[in-house]
Amino acid sequence: MSDSATIHLHPTAELAERVLLPGDPGRALALAQWLLEKPLMFNHHRGLWGYTGKAADGELLTVQSTGMGGPSAAIVLHELVLLGAKRAIRVGTCGALNGELELGELVVAGEAIAADGTSKALGAAERVAADATLTQAMGGEPRTVVSTDLFYEPDPQREHGWRAAGAVAVEMEAATLFAAGELLEIPVGCVLAVSDLLRRQGRERIGEEGLEQAAQATGQVALVALS
C-alpha cells in the first residue's frame, strides 16, 4: 500500500477474512480484548487501530476501526478487501429517533436511508440494503436506519422526515458500508447500540458503563453471525 493508505498491515500480522468495524479506535481495542484470545495490533496508521486474534470459535477475527463518517469507512473497507477481508459487520452506536427504543438497546439494520454524501457517491439509491444472510444471522427484527454526515443535525425537519420514512435510528456509516460492500462484492451487515435518545427537549446520552455493556453486546451478536 502507498504511504497515503489508511491501513498499514504489519509484515508479521494476519488479517482475518471476517471483520468487525467499529468507528471508535478505543472501542476497537475494547472489542478485541473482549472477543479475541491474545489480540495483536496490526494497524495504527492515522489512529485507526486494528487487531486480529482467535475468537471463541477458534477462528481468526479482525477488529478494525473506521473512524467517523462515510468517507473514512469507505476507505477502510476498500483496503481491508484488498488485504483479504471477505465479510464485515459494522458494530457501532446510533441515536434513537422514536420513543420505542431504549438506551443500550440493539438495532440490527436491515437497510439504511442514504442521507449522506459518500453512499450516494458510491451509487446508492435512496435506500441501500444490508446483506440478508448476515442480517438474519444476527437475529431480531431488521430495522431501517438513516445514515447522515452530521452528528448534530441542525434541522429538526430532517429528523421528522426520517421518522416519516420509517427510520428508527440515525448514524453515520451504515449506508456507505452497505454500498461499498455491494461494489466490492462482499457481504456487509450492521448492528448498533442506542447511545442517544433524540427528543424534542434535547438528547439523552447513555452512561459509560451502559455504553460499554452495549458495545460488548454488539460484538457478541456480530461474532455469532460471522461464525
Query: What was the pLDDT predicted at 11?
Result: 63
Q: Is residue 96 part of a domain?
A: yes
Give a yes or no: residue 1 inside a domain.
no
Residue at 181 is within a domain: yes
Domain count, the chain: 1
Helix, strand or coil for residue 34?
helix
Q: How far is CA 73 from the centre of its chain?
A: 9
Print burial letters for 17-49: b (CB count within 10 Å at least 16), e (below 16).
bbbbbbbbbebbbbbbeebbeebeebbeebebb
Indicate the average pLDDT of the chain.
Answer: 93
| Predicted pLDDT at 7 | 77
Contact 97, 156 (CB under 8 A): no
C-alpha 184/C-alpha 148 separation (Å) is 22
Could you identify the residue written with the cell 473506521?
Answer: 66
- The values of phi and psi at residue 76, to 5°, are -60, -50
DSSP H helical ranges for 99-173: 117-121, 132-137, 156-164
Mean pLDDT of 100-109: 96
Q: What is the mean pLDDT of residues 194-211?
A: 88
**CB 131 within 8 Å of CB 188:** yes
> The domain containing residue 207 runs over which residues?
18-226
Q: What is the pLDDT of residues 9-47, one digit of tens each?
A: 666 567 999 999 999 999 999 999 999 999 999 888 888
88 falls within a domain: yes
Q: Has residue 1 got a pLDDT over 50?
A: no
Please work out, in degrees rounded to the nearest 5, the angle formed at the alpha carbon of residue 172 by the alpha carbons of 111 and 138. Answer: 45
**Residue predicted with more confidence, 202 or 107:** 107
For the stretch 145-165, pLDDT in tens is 999 999 887 788 899 999 999
Contact between 61 and 55 (Cβ < 8 Å) = yes
Angle at Cα 20 formed by Cα 144 and Cα 113, nearest 5°? 20
Residue 128 inside a domain? The answer is: yes
pLDDT of residue 45: 83
- Mode of pairing for the β-strands spanning 143-148 and 169-171: parallel
Residues near 17 by beta carbon (within 8 Å), at least 6 away in sequence: 60, 84, 85, 86, 87
Task: State mean pLDDT over 59-86.
Answer: 96
Residue 11 lies inside a defined structural domain of this protein: no
pTM score, whole prediction: 0.94
Q: For 135-147, write each residue's pLDDT tens digit.
A: 999 998 999 999 9
Note the pLDDT of residue 32. 97
Bridge-based pairing state of the strands 202-205 and 188-199: antiparallel
Give the domain CATH number at 194.
Answer: 3.40.50.1580
Residue positions annotated with a catalytic role: 196
Residue 79, domain member (yes or no): yes
pLDDT on residue 166: 97
Residue 172: pLDDT above 70? yes
Considering only CA atoms, which of 11, 164, 161, 15 is closest in space to residue 82? 15
Q: Which residues contact 115 (CB under 8 A, 6 or more apart)?
A: 146, 147, 148, 149, 158, 162, 175
Residue 35 lies in a domain: yes
